[in-house]
Copies of this chain bind each other. A is one copy, B any other.
Amino acid sequence: MATTEPTHRGRARIAEPGEGIGLDELALATRNHGMPLEALRYDVTPPGLHYVLTHYDIPAVDPGDWSLEVGGAVARPLRLDLDALRRRPAVTARVLLECAGNGRARLEPRPVSQPWLLEAVGSAEWTGTPLAPLLREAGVSPGAVDVAFTGADHGVEGGREQDYSRGLPLAEALRPDVLLAWGMNGAPLPPQHGAPLRLLVPGWYGMAHVKWLTRIEVLDRPFTGFQNAVAYRIKVDAHEAGVPVTRIAPRALLAPPGWPDFLTRERFLRPGPVALTGRAWSGRAPVTGVEVSTDGGATWTPAHLAPADPAHPWTWRAWTCAWDARPGRHELVVRAADAEGAQPVQQRWNRQGMANNLVQRVPVTVRQ
């Protein structure tokens, strides 16, 4: 088993060429879990198939003891228990979440952290109350710029003991579709998804959707906590400040056709017509198209993309593409585009493996 040095002060370690996954990365991979890609078949991802990333432990929160504090740069600090929140206007929204580290383990060289391949995604029906009216009731101070959201999850990261905490620009926090959610797919939030209450910031990568929420603090200065200033940044050189990770870049995924080998996960299928299917999304602009290659990216065919559903602007869209599978080995590749551009076919490396949307490649063998 390869030994690994701990990260210090948020400087991620980069794996050596050819270095296998270490026990530390494996400990993350076995406790966090992705969405097996055949679950792309579900419009709404069942709990247990939806991806989960918890930085520390899942905290034991007693909903009867729990309350949410709203304070900082506000005229009227508030404290609300779960009943008080549930008496507020409730909405249910279908929102896709994706981890900012999705695809990290495919980067070369590999940033050492949660080693996602491509499965850190899911789309669920979240029920909660909009945040903006609550902030207005608290009376946000005129000079406020950021809002800090803190969870009950506690641990050490980059050498600093901390409760998980993320800052969000005030303008984003005031968007009407930002929710404080207590329900998932018609049931109470499961423990691993943030029970009793989590934040939902549609369009942003998962790190913004703070789970096990206990405190909302309005700030009259920019938030400088670890998760914004150090952890979730896109940078190539260890010493640069980098740019913050925000909205989800476009991605299409293919539900791998055929059947797998248990261990190697190689895929096999029979010759003949195959309906390739999958999903595509972007958190920054509407998806404008999906293309499929069955020859490793040499040629591309437009997929049929289901129309956007105005009732669900923040979820994925189904796509399908007919393929006449001939015997032999093929590499299937898919890419989505939004108004800002298409997924890259070559990696755009960054040292923390953040917001990487390199195309998916699925080798398959077609045999009689």
Give residues in A with beta carbon < 8 Å to B: 1-2, 4, 6-7, 18-34, 36-39, 41-42, 46-50, 52, 54-58, 60, 105, 110, 112-113, 115-117, 119, 154-157, 161, 190-193, 256, 259-266, 268
Contacts and interface: CB of A to CB of B under 8 A. Distances in A.
List the 5 shortest-distance A-B pairs measured between CB atoms, nearest first: A20-B20, A33-B33, A48-B48, A21-B21, A2-B20
Contacts of A34: 30-31, 33
Contact of A155 (B22, B23, B116, B260): B260
A31 B259 CA distance: 15
26 contacts: A1-B18, A2-B19, A6-B263, A6-B264, A6-B266, A20-B22, A21-B21, A26-B26, A26-B105, A26-B117, A27-B265, A30-B33, A30-B105, A30-B119, A31-B34, A31-B36, A31-B37, A33-B34, A39-B58, A46-B190, A48-B190, A49-B191, A57-B259, A156-B259, A156-B261, A157-B262
Identical chains in the assembly? 2
B156 A260 contact: yes
Contacts of A112: 263
B7 A263 contact: yes
Contact of A48 (B38, B52, B57, B113): B52
A265 B6 CA distance: 10
Contacts of A32: 33
Given A110-B1, A156-B259, A259-B154, A265 B190 contact: no
Contacts of A7: 263
A154 B258 CA distance: 9
Contacts of A57: 36, 38, 256, 259-260
Nearest to A60: B41
B38 A58 contact: yes
A264 B24 contact: yes
A38 to B, nearest CB: 4
A191 B2 contact: no
Nearest to A163: B259
Contacts of A193: 48
Most chain B CB within 10 A, of A20, A24, A37, A190, is at A20
Contact of A28 (B48, B113, B263): B263
Most chain B CB within 10 A, of A54, A115, A264, is at A264
Given A56-B259, A191-B49, A30 B116 contact: yes
A259 B117 CA distance: 27
Given A24-B263, A47-B47, A48-B48, A2 B18 contact: yes
Contacts of A263: 6-7, 24, 28, 112-113, 157
Given A21-B26, A28-B263, 4 more contacts: A32-B33, A48-B50, A48-B192, A161-B268
A205 to B, nearest CB: 17
A19 B3 CA distance: 10
Nearest to A2: B20
Contacts of A191: 39, 42, 46, 49
Contacts of A42: 191
A297 to B, nearest CB: 20
